[in-house]
A = this chain, B = another copy of it.
Amino acid sequence: MSTNSVDAGHLRAFLERIERLEEEKRAIADDIKEVYAEAKGTGYDVKIMRKIVSIRRMDADKRREEEEILEIYLAALGEA
């Protein structure tokens, strides 16, 4: 078997892994849309919900950042 065919087989495997993962990603994105639609059907305002989710995500990111900084400080103290 030539090097090329081995490479091609390898490449194909990579592509298939990627495509399977992209499909899963799309499925989850659809699930998210469905939840928003369901919430809308229950009377909630989707736009506001998205804002809440976005703010909470920023909060979570901020918390992570702060924890990282704290760890850096603690590490610096440990070395001091």
Question: Which residues on A are within 8 Å of B, measured CB to CB?
Answer: 7, 10-11, 14-15, 17-19, 21-22, 24-25, 28-29, 31-32, 35-36, 38-39, 42-45, 47-49, 51-59, 61-62, 65-66, 68-69, 72-73, 76
Contacts and interface: CB of A to CB of B under 8 A. Distances in A.
Given A48-B72, A55-B66, A66-B55, A32 B25 contact: yes
Q: How many copies does the complex hold?
A: 4
A51 B56 CA distance: 20
A interface, by DSSP: helix, strand, loop or mixed? helix
B53 A65 contact: no
B76 A18 contact: no
Contact of A62 (B31, B52, B59, B66): B59
